A and B are shown apart, each in its own frame.
Chain A
Amino acid sequence: MTATAHKVKITYCAECGYESQTLDLARSLMLEFGQRLGSIELIPWEGGTFDVSVDGELVHSMSREGGFPEHEAVKRAVRARLS
């Protein structure tokens, strides 16, 4: 396990029903990084939100980028912090 606990937070619009996309992304990160991630936090929210942050830095925002993130793009952001 790394000394630094890297944190991923996924904020998703619960009223929009983005649970499946949220769980798919969380699962993908769990399988790729396992214990190298300190935590993956899922935050039910509103207003069409689907935001992903890694260690406090927003790496994807549905309102900014449009749509859901490519899993690989989020993984790249995580890898950059692990290395």
Chain B
Amino acid sequence: MKVDRARFDQGMTYDDFKAQMTRNRERVEENERRVDISPNDLAAFRGLPKPIHTLVLAEDWCGDVIANLPVLARLAQESGKLDVRVFLRDQNDDIMQGYLNQGQYKSIPVFVFFDGDFREIGHWIERPASVTALRAKRRAEIFRAHPEFGAPDGPVDQLPEDVRARLSTELQKVRDETTPFANAEVIREIRELVSRVAA
């Protein structure tokens, strides 16, 4: 699917996307507030020679969208150099098919960066691999430290309710503690991609 100006303009602005959300809007806005952009990163985005058209595939039920789209949105708001349009994945399968994760999974969010003539600069899918790796490592540590949680890939429904609640708390703690690293990694990877337009 070739994205051109006409198709791009059919997308929602970030605010329009938030306005139509049926769930998780509070989490998105909380995540927006938690994004910390370094002066160096902000200067790099502000220094882009021209605004970059940024197509996003998203849905409001996806945890990675809730976590990572606010990072892109803050970069767009503060730099003024990312022109963001959001498309719902399930209503835009023709676009989605062009950006399948590993050629088969409809992972979101997808960020596609275009120059002024809608030539693709690069695209980004789901979450940084470094974040997946860090969370897997931290998760493994939790299970090693708490034999009562069973195996990391074991069915949680076999755990007693109180143990399950403690495991849930531990996993939430991992997500919270790794969020600053995750946001920084999202910014680093996006910066690498959009810097190609300036190269």
Using CB atoms and an 8 Å cutoff, list the residues of chain A in contact with chain B.
9, 11, 13, 15-18, 41, 43, 45-49, 51, 53, 56, 58, 61, 63
Question: Contacting chain A: which of B11-19, B58-66, B111-119, B177-185?
Answer: B58-66
Complex contact B60–A43 (CB within 8 A): no
Interface: B156 (CB within 8 A) = yes
Given A17-B61, A45-B168, do A51 and B155 touch, yes or no (CB 8 Å)? yes
Interface: B10 (CB within 8 A) = no
Nearest residue in A to B139 (C-beta to C-beta)?
A47
Question: Can you list the 9 inter-chain pairs with the closest CB atoms, starting with the nearest?
Answer: A17-B61, A9-B157, A15-B63, A11-B157, A58-B155, A53-B157, A43-B157, A16-B63, A11-B156
A53 to B23, CA, bound (A): 28
Interface: B171 (CB within 8 A) = yes
A56 to B156, CA, bound (A): 11
Nearest residue in B to A64 (C-beta to C-beta)?
B153
Interface: B164 (CB within 8 A) = yes
A-B contact count (CB 8 A): 39
Residues of chain A within 8 A (CB-CB) of B158 are 53, 56
Q: Which of B23-56 contact A (CB under 8 A)?
A: 23-24
15 contacts between A and B (CB under 8 A): A9-B157, A11-B156, A11-B157, A16-B62, A16-B63, A17-B23, A41-B157, A46-B63, A46-B172, A49-B156, A51-B155, A53-B155, A53-B158, A56-B158, A63-B153
Residues of chain A within 8 A (CB-CB) of B155 are 11, 51, 53, 58, 61
Residues of chain B within 8 A (CB-CB) of A61 are 155
Which of A15, A16, A18, A46 has its CB near the most chain B CB atoms (within 10 A)? A15
A58 to B171, CA, bound (A): 22
12 further interface pairs, Cβ-Cβ under 8 Å (given A15-B66, A43-B156, A51-B157) = A9-B157, A11-B156, A11-B157, A16-B63, A17-B23, A17-B60, A17-B61, A17-B62, A41-B157, A43-B157, A43-B164, A45-B168
